[in-house]
Amino acid sequence: MITDTLRAKRRRSALVAKRRRTALRTLAFMAPWLIGFAVFFAYPLLSTVYFSFTKYDGFRPPVFNGLDNWTYVFTQYPQFWPAMRNTLWLVVVMVACRVVFGLGVGLLITKVKTGTGIFRTLFYLPYLAPPVAATLSFVFLLNPGTGPVNTLLDGAGLPQPGWFTDADWSKPALTMLAVWGVGDLMVIFMAALLDVPKEQYEAAELDGAGAWQRFRHITLPNISPIILFAVVTGVIQAMQYYTQPLVAGKVAAGVIGGSGQQFEPGYPDKSTLTLPQIVYNTGFQRFDYGTACVLALVLFTLCMAFTALLMRRRGGLIGGGHR
């Protein structure tokens, strides 16, 4: 009897030891991420929350000022609502254009029979162009006076917009740049389209369904999770839009980049302001860290809301990788 309890005890302690070993092992494998998360994310995020309630210029110590920065941002800060309106515009128009165009090109590439590889590569390449280089190229291409695009429009007898120098055309110009780099969506849609079961098309064809009906009733329902994925990731990208609008504004305004020169972003007439840009401008050029932290937290909240939506989609991003 004694030996029985002893054995049970020993078994239990062996089990505990094993569990501890497994836990330690997991901890060891997860360590880089855990440290990174704590040091480079959780702690700074809490600091951001703290600074958002202070008056802080980075030199003198932060002074608590309650909700002052928050009310300032929402009621008086001249950059805030233009940036929010631009973001809304980009979320609606730019994301819609990218998704529709990406799906269109994805469909097209599945129908191409000759030279598929060449076409796919050509469609994909702009996605790889470094954002600063791509933006510089587009500011040049859409240069109202001498750019090739307006030269071509002139040749065709069409009106020639001012693009990046005209507040009404700067966001359409950014949209063209974004649509040009649609190669990532093309690849994702192409893979999804090739996964639609062939039998469904054959059955529909036997029933006499036309091309549009087959697209509407078979293709779309089959790829709808991917469309949702493209829309939500597109919205998150639009909220994070930084390099392209900043560089386009700077270059179109003729500002010399690099050290020294201050630049009031949003040229022309705040039409290219976005939230991340005003976080940078408010913090690192106006040295108003408190207000910048409020803006950062608004950005945080918006991104998290859409990420939550993304994670709730059927099958979820973390559902697993079973094909």
Residue numbers 171-190 binding another protein by CB under 8 A: 180, 184, 187-188
Stretch that binds another protein, among 9-17, 198-206, 212-220, 301-309 (CB under 8 A): 301-309
Measured from the CB atom, is 5 or 111 closer to another protein?
111
Q: What is the spatial distance between Cα 161 and Cα 275, in angstroms, rounded to a whole number?
A: 26
DSSP 283-301: IIIS--HHHHHHHHHHHHH
Q: What is the spatial distance between Cα 290 and Cα 53, in angstroms, rounded to a whole number?
A: 7
CB of 133 to another protein, least distance (A): 5
Measured from the CB atom, is 2 or 61 closer to another protein?
61
Measured from the CB atom, is 76 or 114 closer to another protein?
114
Residues 195-234 that bind another protein (CB under 8 A): 195, 225-226, 229-230, 233
Measured from the CB atom, is 5 or 95 closer to another protein?
95
- Is residue 36 within the footprint of another protein (CB under 8 A)? yes
Measured from the CB atom, is 47 or 224 closer to another protein?
47
Q: How far is CA 225 from the centre of its chain?
A: 18
Q: What is the spatial distance between Cα 180 and Cα 182, in angstroms, rounded to a whole number?
A: 6
Residues 270-289 that bind another protein (CB under 8 A): 275-276, 279-280, 283-284, 289
| Class of residue 239 by CB neighbours under 10 A (exposed 0-12, middle 13-18, buried 19+) | buried
Measured from the CB atom, is 169 or 289 closer to another protein?
289
Q: 222 with 245: CB under 8 angstroms?
A: no
Residues 8-27 that bind another protein (CB under 8 A): 22-23, 25-26
Candidates 17, 35, 92, 96: give the one binding another protein (CB under 8 A): 35
**Which three-class secondary structure state does DSSP give residue 54?**
strand
Candidates 99, 173, 238, 239: give the one binding another protein (CB under 8 A): 239
- What one-character DSSP code corresponds to residue 322? -
Candidates 79, 251, 266, 272: give the one binding another protein (CB under 8 A): 251
Encoding tokens for residue 9? 């005890």
Stretch that binds another protein, among 5-13, 28-36, 70-78, 163-171 (CB under 8 A): 28-36
Closest C-alpha among 137, 105, 83 to residue 247: 137
- Is residue 243 within the footprint of another protein (CB under 8 A)? yes
Which helix (DSSP H) or strand (DSSP E) does residue 217 occupy?
A: none
- Name, in order, each residue with C-beta under 8 angstroms of 84's C-beta and a sequence gap of 6 or more: 275
Residues 60-99 that bind another protein (CB under 8 A): none
Stretch that binds another protein, among 6-14, 77-85, 201-209, 250-258 (CB under 8 A): 250-258
CA distances from 14 to 1, 4, 161 (A): 20, 15, 77
CB of 1 to another protein, least distance (A): 36
Closest C-alpha among 244, 121, 119, 124 to residue 185: 124
Measured from the CB atom, is 91 or 292 closer to another protein?
292
- Is residue 157 within the footprint of another protein (CB under 8 A)? no
**Which three-class secondary structure state does DSSP give residue 31?**
helix
Encoding tokens for residue 225? 């999770």
Residues 119-148 that bind another protein (CB under 8 A): 119, 121-126, 128-133, 136-138, 140-141, 143, 146, 148
Measured from the CB atom, is 9 or 21 closer to another protein?
21
DSSP 232-282: HHHHHHHHT--HHHHHHHHHHHT---SSS----SSTTTTTT--HHHHHHII
